[in-house]
């Protein structure tokens, strides 16, 4: 079993839909990260959080330390949000989930 599990693995949505991507982990962590990887391959850090909730534009990330679970929400999704979203945890080193491939159709 992977130490960081994401769901779903693939997600197709219509423009404007509210999107949720989930991440569960089984190790002790000092921080959790959400990364975005565009089709061109570049990786961008979206959020780093260790508790509660963070919001940046249409993106919201939450974490529940007790349940070892985090969610990434995208409101009013847009085709430019199409990317792979990767959850990673800092547990000594960075451990990555397998990623969620999101496709937003116009």
Partner 1 sequence: DAGVIQSPRHEVTEMGQEVTLRCKPISGHNSLFWYRQTMMRGLELLIYFNNNVPIDDSGMPEDRFSAKMPNASFSTLKIQPSEPRDSAVYFCASRSGGAHEQYFGPGTRLTVT
Residue 86 in contact with partner 1, rule: CB under 8 A: yes
Per-residue contact flags (x/-) with partner 1 for residues 31 to 70, judged by CB under 8 A: x-x-x-----xxxxx--x-x--------------------
Contact between 30 and 90 under an 8 Å Cβ cutoff? The reply is: yes
Q: Find the shortest distance in angstroms from Cβ 65 to partner 1.
A: 15
Q: Find the shortest distance in angstroms from Cβ 27 to partner 1.
A: 14
Dihedral angle computed from the Cα positions of residues 40, 43, 46 and 52, in that order, rounded to the nearest 10 degrees: 130
Q: Find the shortest distance in angstroms from Cβ 18 to partner 1.
A: 26
Of 34, 25, 77, the closest CA to residue 54 belongs to 34
Cα angle for residues 46, 52, 58 (degrees, 5° grid): 40
Q: What is the contact surface with partner 1 in residues (CB under 8 A)?
A: 30-31, 33, 35, 41-45, 48, 50, 86, 88, 90, 92-99
């Amino acid at each position: 079993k992977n130490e960081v599990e994401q769901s779903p693995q693939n997600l197709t949505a219509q423009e404007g839909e509210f999107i949720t991507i989930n991440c569960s982990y089984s190790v002790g962590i000092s921080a959790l990260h959400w990364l975005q990887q565009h089709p061109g391959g570049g990786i961008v850090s979206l959020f780093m959080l260790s508790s509660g909730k963070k919001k940046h534009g249409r993106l919201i990330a939450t974490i529940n330390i007790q349940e070892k679970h985090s969610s990434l929400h995208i409101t009013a999704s847009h085709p430019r949000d199409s990317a792979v979203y990767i959850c990673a945890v800092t547990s000594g080193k960075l451990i990555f989930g397998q990623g969620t491939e999101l496709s937003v159709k116009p």
